[in-house]
Amino acid sequence: MKDLVKKLSESFGPSGSEDQIRQIIRSEVEQYADEVRVDSMGSLICRVAPKAAAPGAAAKRIMVDAHMDEIGIVVSYIDDKGFLRFSPVGGLNPHVLLGQRVVFGNGVVGVFGTEKLDDIKDLKFDKMFIDIGARDRAEAQAKVRVGDAAVMLASFADMGCRVSGKAMDDRIACAVVIEAMRRSRPKLHEVYYVFAVQEELGLRGARTAAYGINPDVGIAVDVTLWGDTPEHAPFNVSLGGGAAIKAKDSSLIAHPAVKNLMIDTAEKNGIPYQLEVLERGGTDAGAIALTREGVPSGTISIPCRYVHTPAEMVDMGDVDACVRLLAAMVEELASPAGGGIL
């Protein structure tokens, strides 16, 4: 599975420019789906039909979501000397960018630089630029244009039981969903696996995908923060502690039936888990839950250190726990009992 994680992590796909990563994911999932389509926002939607028809009623719809976009930058201005000014796409910290490189969709590489500062605390995006090695505006414009997007240039690192790289938020969840698709097959209800766009800009792709699917229950898979590094603020999630089952974040209070089914499923199958309350931040489950008349929704989270940096780190044991929990949840929800929810 590390090969898949590496492929997804190193791929290009900032919010609003997900074409390349969508094609890579599509090539991985087509063999497991009965229908694959791309909606008008660009989200990849994979329908898996049940083994048998639901008796006496139409099949229910289960939506499983992971967002495939990543944070990045977009060029906002090119000056006479060929330096690029930029705007962030998603939640970037300017201090994280110093000394880092970016890569554009066409392969052009740039280096972050900064104007002279009296105090590093004064560093803001409007004090920064990107140097792509151009000697003037004309040479720069031959390489990139205003409106072009770029992502952090960072290689995947295999650290044994843990791995590190860019865009683990949320490519690690995409890997979890792909593997869960491979392992599970619904019995009586349809499952829609969605690889959503533009989550980093406000849960946009999941919102429109959920409206079109009109699911009866929703599960988002995403990363969460960590609480196990030196002097970190108290937080009930650690790398190596298992799948994190979300109780609450800024976008969602998990539906009690969905959350409790996750806990019961984890315990029944011997899957290590930990409970999560995230004070700041949200996932696509928040958008799914508010679709149409409302959708019972919850989130399976992968613990991840150094979120929104080029060196996000996850534990492969946690990843496996999330795969097992998601696959078991699909089996429970798509069973005759519907997990007690459908």
pLDDT class of 301 with cuts at 50, 70, 90: very high
Q: Tell me which residue has tokens 């630029």.
A: 129
In this prediction, residue 266 has a pLDDT band, given cuts at 50, 70 and 90, of: very high
Taking residues 246-266, report their average pLDDT: 97
Identify the CA nearest to 188 among candidates 44, 48, 22. Answer: 48
Give pLDDT, residue 282. Answer: 95
**Which phi and psi angles does 288 have, rounded to 5°?**
-60, -45
pTM: predicted TM-score of the whole model, two decimal places: 0.95
Q: Are 168 and 304 in contact (CB under 8 A)?
A: yes
pLDDT at res. 256: 97
Q: Which residues of 241-268 are buried (b: 16+ CB within 10 A; e: fewer)?
A: bbbbbbbbbebbebbeebbbbbeebbee
Higher per-residue confidence, 155 vs 52: 155
Q: Which residues are catalytic?
A: 199
For residues 5 and 21, give the distance between their C-alpha atoms in angstroms, rounded to a whole number.
Answer: 12
Q: Which domains does the chain have, with CATH numbers?
A: 2-70+166-340 (3.40.630.10), 72-152 (2.40.30.40)
Closest to 13 measured CA to CA, from 89, 68, 65: 68
Q: What is the percentage of the chain residues whose pLDDT exceeds 90?
A: 90
User: Any idea of the CA torsion for 39, 41, 46, 50, to the nearest 10 degrees?
Assistant: -70
Whole-angstrom Cα distance, residue 224 to residue 300? 9
DSSP states along 25-40 = HHHHHGGG-SEEEE-T
- Cα distance between residue 61 and residue 63, in whole Å: 6
Residue 56 pLDDT greater than 60, yes or no: no
Q: What is the pLDDT of residues 162-176, one digit of tens each?
A: 999 999 999 999 999
For residue 142, give every residue at least 6 positions away whose Cβ sits within 8 Å of its Cβ, in sequence order, or none. none
> Which pairing describes strands 217-224 and 61-67: parallel, antiparallel, or unpaired?
parallel
User: Mean pLDDT, to the nearest integer, of 124-146?
Assistant: 97
Q: How confident is the model at residue 186 (pLDDT cuts 50, 70, 90)?
A: confident
CB 62 within 8 A of CB 50: no
Tell me which amino acid residue 224 is.
T
Name the CA radius of gyration of the chain, rounded: 21
Residue 111, pLDDT > 60, answer: yes
Q: Are 300 and 322 in contact (CB under 8 A)?
A: yes
* Span 121-144, average pLDDT: 96
Tokens of 270: 């011997």
- pLDDT band for 258, please (50, 70, 90 cuts): very high
Instruction: Please tell me the predicted confidence (pLDDT) of residue 185.
Output: 82
Rounded Cα gap, residues 224 and 110, in angstroms: 29
Backbone φ and ψ of 260, nearest 5°? -65, -35
* Residue 157 contacts residue 165 (beta carbons within 8 Å): yes
Place of tokens 């990107």: 130
